[in-house]
A and B are shown apart, each in its own frame.
Chain A
Amino acid sequence: MRHLLLKDLRILRRSPLLVALLVLYPIVIAVLIGFAISRGPDKPEVAFYNALPPSDRSIKLGGRDVNLNAQAGQLFDAIDAVPVHSRAEAIKKVRDGDALGALIIPADLTRKLQSGLEPGRVEVYYNAEDPAKRRFVENTIKSQVQVANAALTKIVARESLKAIDLLQSGGQYSFLGRTFDVLGLERSERILRRARARLPAGSPLRKEMDQVIAFTRLSRQNLSFSDNILSVVGQPLRVDSHVINGGTTSLNSFAVALAVAVSIMFITVLLAAGALALEREENAFSRLVRGLVSRTELLLEKAGLAAVCSLVVCLLMLAGLGLFVDLRWERFPLWVVALAAGALAFAALGLAIGALTREVRAASLLAFMLSLPLAFLALVPSGAVAPALYDVIRVISALFPFKATLDALDAALNDAGGLGVALLHLAALFAGFGLLSRVGLRRFAG
Chain B
Amino acid sequence: MEQQAAAPVVGAETVISAEGLVKRFGEREALRQVSLRAARGELVAVIGPNGAGKTTLLSILARSISSDAGSVDWPAGEVGWVPQQPALYGKLTVQENLSLFARLERVDDVGATVERMLELSGLRDRARDEVGRLSGGNQQRVNIAIGLLAEPELLLLDEPSAALDPRQRARLWEFILRLAGEGTAVIYATHMVQEAERYADRVLVLADGEELFNGPPRELQDVVGTSDVQDFEAAFVEFLHQRGH
Chain B hits for A283, CB < 8 A: 83, 85-88
For window 223-238 of B, CB contacts with A under 8 Å fall at: none
Cβ 8 A contact of B104, one of A286, A288, A445, A446 = A288
One of B1-9, B59-67, B109-117, B165-173 at the interface: B59-67
Question: Given contacts A286-B83, A290-B81, A445-B64, could you give 16 more A-B pairs where the C-beta distance is less than 8 Å?
Answer: A282-B88, A283-B83, A283-B85, A283-B86, A283-B88, A284-B89, A286-B64, A286-B65, A286-B81, A286-B87, A287-B64, A287-B101, A287-B146, A291-B63, A293-B104, A445-B65
Contact of A287 among B25, B65, B83 (CB under 8 A): B83
Which of B25, B64, B101, B104 has its CB near the most chain A CB atoms (within 10 A)?
Answer: B64
CA distance A446 to B65 in the complex (A): 9
Residues of the A chain whose Cβ atoms lie less than 8 Å from the Cβ of B87: 282-287
User: Counting CB contacts under 8 A, is A292 at the interface?
Assistant: yes
Contacting residues, chain B, for A19 (C-beta < 8 A): none
* B86 and A286 contact, CB distance less than 8 A: no
Q: Tell me the count of chain A residues lying within 8 A, CB to CB, of chain B.
A: 14
* Chain A 265-309 interface residues, beta-carbon cutoff 8 Å to B: 282-293
* Chain A residue with Cβ nearest B97: A284
Whole-angstrom distance between the Cβ of B80 and the nearest chain A Cβ: 10
User: Taking beta carbons and an 8 Å cutoff, which residues of A are in contact with B?
Assistant: 282-293, 445-446
Complex Cα–Cα for A292 and B79 (A): 11
From B105, which residue of chain A is reached at the shortest CB distance? Answer: A292
CB of B90 within 8 A of chain A? yes
Most buried by B among A282, A284, A287, A291: A287
Residues of A within 8 A of B89 (CB): 282, 284
Closest chain A CB from B139 CB (angstroms):
11
Interface size on B, residues (CB 8 A): 19
Dominant SS among interface residues on chain A: loop
Most buried by A among B87, B89, B105, B146: B87
Q: How far is the CA of A338 from the CA of B160 in the complex (A)?
A: 50
CB distance from B23 to the nearest CB of A (A): 11
Contact with A along B48-69 (1 / 0, CB 8 A): 0000000000010011110000
- Given the interface pairs A283-B85, A284-B89, A446-B25, the reply to whether A290 lies near B104 with Cβ below 8 Å is no
- Residues on B with beta carbons closer than 8 Å to the beta carbon of A289: 64
Min Cβ gap B91→A in Å is 9
Expressed in whole angstroms, the minimum distance between the Cβ of B237 and any Cβ of chain A is: 30
Listed by A's residue number, 6 A-B pairs whose Cβ atoms lie within 8 Å are A283-B83, A287-B81, A287-B87, A287-B146, A290-B62, A290-B64
Residues of A within 8 A of B25 (CB): 446
Name B146's closest neighbour in chain A (CB-CB).
Answer: A287
Min CB gap A66→B, angstroms: 77
Give the shortest distance, in Å, between B177 (CB) and chain A (any CB).
Answer: 24
Q: Mark B68-83, 1 if CB is under 8 A from A, else 0.
A: 0000000000010101
